[in-house]
Amino acid sequence: MNGAANKQAYERYIELLNAQNFGALDEVVDPESYREICVGFTPGWVNLPEAVASLEKVVGGIPDLHARIDDVVCEDDRVYARLTVTGTNTGRFFGAPPVGSSYEVSMFDYARLEDGRIVERIQQSDTLSQLIQMYSGAARKGALAAALLGAATVFALRRRRKRTP
């Protein structure tokens, strides 16, 4: 396949991810030989069913997950892309409770295709920035609550000491 056809297959892959139509991925993915690693989200190389299970966990916590292709370059059987990923944490995210925060991060993606279908994918997103954007507000609220609780405790202890003869 030529670079234009591989680019079209990759773009369709991203469309299916954005639509959360994981059952249709075999349109552009070879389910028998597909493997991927999503740095920060998968425990190393995973096959298609394991990748879909990971994606389902992600969209369970971030149902409006969306990837926008900003740049894409094709060379022979390889596609390289820079994307912007956005979402809002309104559900449990890998066990953490929802906080309602939105985020926007950059992601770099590499895909290798055989016969017009993706067989290998490596994805690296700015996971640290994502988690900071999602949870820093919650951390600040938690710190404020802890500080207020601490201050209330000190105040109560001081009042008690003043009353004690």
The CB density around residue 128, as the number of other CB atoms within 10 Å, is: 10
Residue 117: which residues within 8 A CB-CB, separation 6 or more?
9, 28, 29, 30
Per-residue pLDDT, 135: 76
Per-residue pLDDT, 141: 52
**Per-residue pLDDT tens digits for 25-50:** 999 999 999 999 988 777 889 999 99
Per-residue pLDDT, 144: 45
User: Which residue(s) pair with 120 in the sheet?
Assistant: 35, 112
Per-residue pLDDT, 3: 86
> pTM score, two decimals?
0.79
Could you tell me the domains of the chain?
A: 3-163 (3.10.450.50)
Those residues of the chain that have pLDDT short of 70 are 1, 137-165
